Structure 1
């Protein structure tokens, strides 16, 4: 499909720079079949059915943004995928000053050696020493806010908490699974009281999620791979939800892509672990999910293509136009939509 079909105009003032406070006070646009309603995230217990199950991504964002020097040259690096115990793939700023084998000093006793440069322009960085890389990043790194926020304000102490979900447990993401940012212990208790269950899986979100689609046709776009896992017990519980007539509702596109990577053609979800570069565009047949809670996405992005595959492109373009006209807040710290095809 032509990528320009997924374009739309978004006024800059619609981009949220801070999350709603409290988190579950965010607005929610309900798209249930042909029905469109303005609600809030706190309404979820009334919008879902007893027996439904929400699926959350329990990845934890690491301080993956680094600033350093190679000699006199300033080098910025955003880690996006682990490649070994001490090696990470990274997008590098001022890469023209970097060569294979160069050492970068990130301060605080943290150094890395540049390795091969990939076809996508990213570099392999191998961290020196014996300390776990996670400890090095805690010392020298900072929270990697999305570029559309970072371009308008600097990361600060509030982001350390704001940019983690209440489910964050498995360290390894360089971007938050932002749909889950809306959830609070009080909301989870209300959902449980309404008979709505929840499960967790893991997908370590990479910085590739923010990269623009530069191809003119979706067939020519290469997705960045991300590592994920769903265990056998979780997979079987999700299969039982659907067998009993409940719906599996992914919270965020990361949860959805993990489930779809683990689901067979018959719709059964199996234990799965590995890299996924699944790219979902209109025409895709969904196998493991029955709905999606997600934020509002970038024009021409793979995520807007995904929601258009779930709900139809014309439906989503109309919904986004409505959201823009009615003051919904977009992107990572923005409001939510509940998509029930």
Structure 2
């Protein structure tokens, strides 16, 4: 083994929460091409290649390798990038690495998602046979059957099939050795990090039953099954995987909804939720996750200060319906009617008298309704 690092690709802000993405056997970072850029909007995403796959050196592992050996390489990569604790998602063998990390290095893992993976991969014999075959004949034959093992009929990702064909046979066989020796079933109850299991309904390699087995054993875990997905779900059904991972790793929508209710009130939020349709669902999620889950929760400014800024911005753009809502929110955030009036008077100087005039009329109506106990 050498002291070289796994080949990796990093995306997103270096100050964002780290998220490591692990690959399936025979693939590369290409597996995450559709999902990773989206996740990098909220996370520092680092996807890595298995030894002998993609850009990773083949001599990072050798015959008789274990999933624990791969986990050590992942931790070395995290250390080199200055990442102490990270969320982790992995597919198949990459998911097994995540399970190992959650059991043996829980202090390093903040949350885990295992996708189309297993706590055991059907016993050692099939993998020992595959390792021997690859060491004897190379990968050309296996690459020919990659589509049937990875995807439903009629679907393919040519770049991933090419990655399979171009992988180093020795390193690939060593990864097979790791899968042959892997069985974490008796340690699953020891996993304490928030855990999501994602199964492809059409996956022949790690069927949903394998993910259900993990979900049943890991306390507090959740299971999502994706219709129409086979073994490489992030490549075949990226949107479904993305939605599941966002909900699991950010927690922003849930926390954001709590803050949204605190500031705007249950009546308004319930009304907005009741009007939600499949067409507007992603926008509502965006509001809860980013506006309320990240901006309004940033401790740099108080809620009082954010209310004053919001009132000013709404007056400047003439959004008087929104202004009425945020006058009520400002009262919940502790502003007095006099302070609200002072903010609107400030807008007369910088946004114009006509805008302030309309704003005062809106605010006066809302404050009067509040005083009468009829405000919503």
- Common fold by TM > 0.5: no
Task: Provide TM-score, normalisation by structure 1.
Answer: 0.23
Structure with more relative contact order (C-alpha pairs < 8 Å, separation 6 or more):
1
Task: Provide TM-score, normalisation by structure 2.
Answer: 0.21
Structure that is richer in helix per residue: 2
